[in-house]
């Protein structure tokens, strides 16, 4: 199943009794009143859903009805109002053309940014700013008990997360097996976790919230990393990029400002400075001429 943030169809495309009252041949077709938005589009890969069991047609140019396993479907109804909304019809080609134009515009912009990175406004200030991220952080940032605290900058505040408890248990079981086999790793791992708990960087979850299943709980797996130049010093990494059912915490959160300058810009500016230096050096070697 494929999903999109926005369906290319809305409740206004659903036919009603008022749309077919003028067509006598459709008077026997029951049309339920649906007070809901469209949440699922069934495609051609489900042929049984569209197999006609019964068809009702009328005069030339009039809408017709098809009885399928999903019930009655009214086709080719056009409302006689200012909007001229076609029900049971979505302008897929127009949507595809808009999507292709948008992709072409993005491709062109990336090409320009790659060819001329030094002239971009964000390169002159050496970071790009995500306004939405900064607004969320600025409005929620507060200093509590010696620590700064802010809300998680979700792209969509109403997002519901899948329950990844089973994945977290499997990850923890594998980690536990590894710690039991390596006493030194167990000691380092325990010391690191005790340290961040004592400093208030993390908090223990109350037992009363262990079994929450409201779509607002996410278990973050973690693993150890040893720096090759710092033997014996462990760092526990919390993997927010871990994916479960196609969902990861990183993908749901807004990204902060990019504080690094692109490598292409650095190289271009380095070449410009080098060329200027070579020019000044060559000029300095020209003997002074005195004009009388």
- Nearest partner of 13 among 98, 70, 84, 63, judged by Cα: 84
Angle between helices 183-198 and 165-181 (to 10 degrees): 130
Task: Establish how many alpha carbons lie within 13 A of residue 180's alpha carbon, considering only the half-sphere containing its beta carbon.
Answer: 6
Q: What is the percentage of the chain residues whose pLDDT exceeds 90?
A: 4
Under 8 Å between Cβ of 117 and 264:
yes
Residue 59 has pLDDT above 80, yes or no: yes
pLDDT classification of 213: cutoffs 50, 70, 90: confident
Of the two residues 156 and 277, the one the predictor is more confident about is 156
pLDDT at 232: 77
* Burial (CB count <10 Å: 0-12, 13-18, 19+), residue 64: middle
The residue with tokens 């692109």 is 262
Residue 151 has pLDDT above 60, yes or no: yes
Of the two residues 4 and 85, the one the predictor is more confident about is 4
pLDDT at 286: 56
* Burial (CB count <10 Å: 0-12, 13-18, 19+), residue 109: exposed
Question: φ, ψ for residue 157 (rounded to 5)?
Answer: -70, -20
Q: How many CB atoms lie within 10 A of CB 266?
A: 14
What distance in Å separates the CA atoms of residue 198 and residue 97, rounded to the nearest whole number?
57
Coil, strand or helix at 144: strand
Task: Establish how many alpha carbons lie within 13 A of residue 265's alpha carbon, considering only the half-sphere containing its beta carbon.
Answer: 16
pLDDT, tens digit (0-9, with 9 covering 90-100), for 252-290: 888 777 666 667 667 777 776 666 666 666 656 655 544
pLDDT at 281: 65
Cα torsion angle, 119, 121, 123, 125, sign: positive
pLDDT classification of 113: cutoffs 50, 70, 90: low
Q: Which region among 44-58, 78-92, 236-250 has the lowest average model confidence (pLDDT)?
A: 78-92
DSSP state letters, 60-117: TT--EEEEETTEEEEESEE--STT-PEET---HHHHHHHHHHHHHHHHHHHHHHHH-G
Average pLDDT, the chain: 78
* Burial (CB count <10 Å: 0-12, 13-18, 19+), residue 26: buried
The residue with tokens 């390169």 is 123
Residue 216 has pLDDT above 50, yes or no: yes
E strands within the chain? 54-56, 64-68, 71-75, 77-78, 86-87, 142-144, 147-149, 222-226, 234-238, 243-244, 247-248
The tokens describing 231, both together, are: 């033997």
pLDDT, tens digit (0-9, with 9 covering 90-100), for 94-112: 556 667 777 777 777 777 6
């Amino acid at each position: 199943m494929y999903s999109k943030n926005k369906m290319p169809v809305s409740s206004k495309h659903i036919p009603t009794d008022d749309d077919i009252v003028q067509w006598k041949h459709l008077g026997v077709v029951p049309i339920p009143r649906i007070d809901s938005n469209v949440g699922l589009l069934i495609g051609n890969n489900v042929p049984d859903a569209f197999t006609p069991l019964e068809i009702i047609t009328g005069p030339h140019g009039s809408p017709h009805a098809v009885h399928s396993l999903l019930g009655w479907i009214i086709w080719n109804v056009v409302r006689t109002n200012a909007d001229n909304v076609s029900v049971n019809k979505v302008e897929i080609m127009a949507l595809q053309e808009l999507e292709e134009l948008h992709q072409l515009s993005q491709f062109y912009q990336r090409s320009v940014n790659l060819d001329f990175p030094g002239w971009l406004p964000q390169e002159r200030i050496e970071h790009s700013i995500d306004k939405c991220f900064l607004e969320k952080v600025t409005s929620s940032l507060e200093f509590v008990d010696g620590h700064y605290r802010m809300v998680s900058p979700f792209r969509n505040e109403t997002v519901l997360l899948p329950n990844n408890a089973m994945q977290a248990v499997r990850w923890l079981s594998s980690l536990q097996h590894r710690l039991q086999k390596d006493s030194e790793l167990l000691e380092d791992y325990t010391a690191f976790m005790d340290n961040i708990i004592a400093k208030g960087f993390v908090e223990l979850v109350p037992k009363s919230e262990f079994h929450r299943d409201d779509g607002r709980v996410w278990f973050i797996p973690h693993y150890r990393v040893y720096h090759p130049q710092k033997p014996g010093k462990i760092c526990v990494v919390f993997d927010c990029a871990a994916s479960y059912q196609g969902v990861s915490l990183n993908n749901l959160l807004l990204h902060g400002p990019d504080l690094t300058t692109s490598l292409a810009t650095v190289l271009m500016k380095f070449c410009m400075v080098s060329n200027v230096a070579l020019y000044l050096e060559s000029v300095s070697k020209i003997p002074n001429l005195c004009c009388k």
